[in-house]
Amino acid sequence: MTSAPVRVSVFGKTDLGLTRDHNEDTFLVADLSTGNASLGPDVRDHEVGPRGSLFMVADGMGGAAAGEVASAMAADIIHRHLATAWAQDSEVSAARFAFRMKEAVELANQQIYAYAREHPDVRGMGTTVTAAGVFGNELYLTQIGDSRGYLIRNGIAFQLTKDQSLTQRLVDAGELTEEEAEQSERRNIILQALGPDPRVKVDLSRQALQRGDTLILCSDGLSGVVRREEVSQLVAELGDLASLCSALIDLANDRGGPDNVTVVAVRFDGDGLPESDSGNGAGYSVYHVPDQDTTEPTPPPPPRPPAASFSAPPEPPPAPVHRPSGLLIAAALVALIALILSALL
């Protein structure tokens, strides 16, 4: 880990959008060295400590209050695990940090899945999560679903995450172009979420940081209607991160606000980072955690809502909204096979 300081400036904002009657998104920012998770001055501008920093966006699904419960539980459980297991870990290394982040997402899935099984009124609930952790001069991203992470460097926006979606699978297979995928009616079909299934495969990637880099984490309420080139343009125009978050949300709402919109913006600086290199881009880069523990992770405590305000709703939830909430992989694969067969015939 670098001994020279790495400084972080951060702001986050969530908005209902123009068509939803409640907000199922959640975001969280935290200084893992001090244990402070808030948007207070001490977190909005801080030096990355020996335990790193955490930024997260989660987009819930399931109808009624179920999506709100799932996304809030994900943020709470992931942060709690890092604030305890990682904060007390005797090994302080990049590999261990990445391992603990991945483990935290897996534990969040276990707890949300267990909670939904014990509470039929929220059964089927789920959430995406994109959690970014800074350790030293590197950024680690864990992802389930299709909330995105962009890194803006020298005026160019690079996508650091890969959507776990049907349309992304078709793009990878050469059946759709990226432009066609953006217009597809199936673009909201995701292949994984936290909660619907007992196990998930966490996507973990890594990116070396440079001075002046800006990270944007967002739910698909933004990425579904605002292109990444437009994100980089607003990053260049607006130095104040609170204004940047508001401008991005306003742009999504100007285009109909079809979903909840959540943005977390993080700017990196300090002598611990190399000078920005215009010839050194960024992008999605898979990171394989070196062998850590050979035993099963410590079982999580009994599942619970993250706060009293997220108690189970009194009535059964209506049909899922804007995303499938159960059997995600099966439904997506059926649609994938049908599209491939139609292309071949």
pLDDT (tens digit per residue) in 198-226: 999 999 999 999 999 999 999 999 999 99
Determine the pLDDT at residue 197.
Answer: 95
Residue 48 belongs to what domain range? Answer: 7-162+196-276
Q: What is the mean pLDDT of the chain?
A: 86
**HSE of 308, CA atoms in CB hemisphere, 13 A:** 0
The answer to whether residue 181 sits within a structural domain is no
The answer to whether residue 262 sits within a structural domain is yes
Question: Residue 117 pLDDT more than 50?
Answer: yes
pTM over 0.75, yes/no: yes
Sign of the CA dihedral with 325 first, then 327, 330, and 331 last: negative
The answer to whether residue 35 sits within a structural domain is yes
Q: For 91-107, give the DSSP string.
A: --SHHHHHHHHHHHHHH
Confidence of residue 335 (pLDDT cuts 50, 70, 90): low
Place of tokens 């389930």: 144
Determine the pLDDT at residue 292.
Answer: 63
Do residues 36 and 51 touch, judged by C-beta distance below 8 A?
no
CATH number at residue 207: 3.60.40.10
3-state secondary structure of 342: helix
Number of structural domains found in the chain: 1
What does the pLDDT look like over 94-105, one tens digit per residue? 999 999 999 999
